[in-house]
Structure formats: C-alpha cells, structure tokens
Amino acid sequence: MEDIRKQIAVYIDGHRDAMIDFWRQLVQIESGSANKAGVDAVAHRVQEELDTIGAYTEIHEMKRAGNMLVSALNEDVPEAPVLLLGHMDTVFPDGTVAARPFTLRDGKAYGPGVLDMKGGVTIAVFAMKALKEAGWAKRPVRLVLAGDEEVGHCDSDCDQQIMEQARGAVAAFNCESGRLGNEVVVQRKGALTYRMDVTGIAAHAGNEPEKGRSAILEMAHKVIAIQNLTDWQQGTTYNVGVISGGTVANAVPDTASILIDVRYLKKEYVLNIEAKLQDVAHTTYVNGTKTSLTQLSCCIPMERMAGTDGLLAKVQEAYASFGMPRPSGIIVGGGSDSAYTVAAGVPTICAMGVEGSRHHSPEEYASVELLYARAKALAYVVTMV
C-alpha cells in the first residue's frame, strides 16, 4: 500500500501542469445546464483524456439534456466496483466564459464552474490516471458524470441511471465541490419544491372593495403559516422564496402564487410535509377564496447509512497519509446526486472535489494546491476499499 501511495503522489506531482491545462479546457467550455452542446463537448473532452489510459467509456445520449458519461478502468476485474461521481453542467448562462475566463491568481482559480464542479471532474479523471500509472487493478473504478445535475435531471432519467450504475458498488465518492474548513459531506438534506395558488374575487378597490376577496390577503396568512411549519429539531425547513399576485394597486387582487422550498433529512418525512402543506392550503382565512397546491420537484436526501462512518474513516486515513488534516464529516442542506448512490445501497462520501467558495456566483473560486492534494487522497482511498 505504501508503494501505491508513493506512486500516486509522484504521478500527481509530475502532472500538475497537465491538470491545470485540463481544468482550464473544461472551464473554457460553456456548459450551463441549458447548453446541451456545451455539456456534450465536456463529455467528449473527458472521454478523450480517459482514452489515453485505455478506459472503456460510454456516452449515454439524452434528447433534451446534456449527455451522461460512464467510464470504467479495470472493467473486466470480477470484483465490486468503486464509483466516482460528478456532473458536467454549470449554473452559468452562455457568454459567462467570455466575460470571466479561467484565471489563476494568488493560488486560486477563477471562472464559471471552476469549483462546481469542473475542478472535481479534473480530480476524478487524474485520480483514475494515477491509479492506472501505479498499476492498481484490484477492482473496477467507474466514473459517472451527469449532464444535468444542476437542474435536478428534470429532462432526463439520469437519476435512475446513476442508481443502476451504483448498484453493487463497494463505495462511492462524489467529487462535488469541496468545502472550506477541511470537510467532506456524509449526509445531505432532500429538497421539495411546491407552488401554491390562491384564487379570489376581483373588485374595484375604491368603488366596491367589499365585493372583492383578496387572494393576496389570503396568501399573506398562508405564508406565515407555512414559515411556522419549520421544525429546527427535526431539521425540516420551509421557505417561501417567491411571491406574486394582483395586477394594479386599485384592484382587489383575484390571484396570488408562491413557490415553497422544503429541506428534509429523511425520505419518510415527505408524506407528513405534504400533509402539513395541504392543511395550510385547505384552511381558509378570507371567505370566498380557493387554494391549490402543486408539487414541482423532489430531490431525495442523501441519508447516512451503515458503512458511512467506516468509509469516512478511510477518507480521513488517506488524507492523513499525505500530511493533510483529517477531514470532518458534516451534514448540509444542499442536495446532490449522492442521494441516488445511497438509495442504491452504496456507502457514499460527498464533496471530495477541490475546495473553494462562492459557488454559483461571479466570485466562485477554487484552491489550486488542494486540487493536487485532493486528487492524491481520492486515488489512494480508492485502493483502501
């Protein structure tokens, strides 16, 4: 094991410039979730790089979303595989690369998706290359990259395909954005999105306001009721994030709508969450108004399962072996595709990608030095499971 560890370190340290160049190339490809051609170009570039080590790669074509890449090293080895996970799409619109190209400054890399998560893709690819160079072939290493993670796979069946690829794996490591503070993620909340619509009765606000039934007033009561559903002890939070309604100031409004975000830790909570929202919908504060509730999306939680703590211990040992502090395992509110590997019964550690901050913003950045350090740790922990 010590020889493998040293060979991994030598390979990564000897290919720092190549890693930066590959990272740069990925960031310079416009690949917002709506840009299928751009996401597909990222998949093609990743395939080109993995072809150099003889990995077997398949591109799963999607009609309306970016394609999905599945690539395997040691595919013929009859052992349970290790899964590496990530995504190729970003949240940024076309034109962002021209405005903010990949830039290195003061030990940090900047650019759209540099942290979330083209740095993580770079780490996964070069971890596989390091393992190949070191001659490690104990079990298959399977890389799965989605093309539409940032929009919750709303136009593909990628979530189901991830579960299929994960079944039977011994462990999964998601190279999602690493977090400042030397942390990895062992549990993530699920996310539910709902729209609530209220219909009232319009009337002239000056001449006959008594004939109106204000949808906005009804919704104001409901917003307060929904926010009050938050259960901090259980870890379930409700947030009314968008509100709209009415037409002009001098008319009693007959329509109002809100968008609701709910975060939760366990899938068994979903029925209770919806029941509570339906109770709010069915409670009338302004007579003559009617309310409907519609679920728009559901991202399942990444639950902490048997095997998670043992896998975390191996990650901590791998980090320590390269002189890095042992990372702590934390729970976060944001979702990721790690939920689907856990749903497939695979112990999973998330946020194994490059560390940085300001995800999804013009100030997004990643630590260059930790790109190399985390690539070493990822490659080594694969050999430990």
| Cβ atoms within 10 Å, residue 12 | 27
pLDDT of residue 103: 98
Strand partners for 105:
108
Of the candidates 111, 171, 109, 205, the residue with the CA atom closest to the CA atom of residue 347? 171
Amino acid identity of 343?
A
Of the candidates 140, 102, 139, 145, the residue with the CA atom closest to the CA atom of residue 123? 145
* Domain end among 242, 273, 299: 299
- One domain, residues 295 and 241: yes
* Domain end among 245, 276, 299: 299
Question: What pTM was computed for the model?
Answer: 0.90
Q: Provide the CATH number for the domain around residue 220.
A: 3.30.70.360
Q: What is the pLDDT of residues 60-96, one digit of tens each?
A: 999 999 999 999 999 999 999 999 999 999 999 999 9
- Give the chain's mean pLDDT: 96
Confidence of residue 141 (pLDDT cuts 50, 70, 90): very high
CA angle 54, 56, 62 (to 5 degrees): 140
- One domain, residues 278 and 321: no
DSSP 266: -
DSSP 307: T
Q: Identify the domain containing residue 241 by its residue range.
A: 190-299
| CB-facing half-sphere around the CA of 244: CA atoms within 13 A | 4
> 156 phi and psi, to 5 degrees?
-155, 175
Q: What is the pLDDT of residues 87-109, one digit of tens each?
A: 999 999 999 999 999 999 999 99
**What 3-state DSSP class applies to 141?**
strand
Q: What is the mean pLDDT of residues 123-127?
A: 98
Provide the number of structural domains found in the chain.
Answer: 2
Q: What is the pLDDT of residues 255-272, one digit of tens each?
A: 999 999 999 999 999 999
> 71 phi and psi, to 5 degrees?
-130, 140
- One domain, residues 343 and 372: yes
CA 358 from chain centre, in angstroms, equals 15
* Domain end among 299, 318, 352: 299
pLDDT of residue 154: 87
- One domain, residues 195 and 338: no
Cα 97 to Cα 25, 101, 117, 124, 335, distances in angstroms? 11, 5, 15, 23, 26
Q: State yes or no: pLDDT of 180 exceeds 90.
A: no
Q: What is the mean pLDDT of residues 346-364?
A: 96
Q: What is the pLDDT of residues 2-17, one digit of tens each?
A: 899 999 999 999 999 9
> What is the rounded distance in angstroms from the CA atom of residue 207 to the CA atom of residue 86?
60
- One domain, residues 339 and 291: no
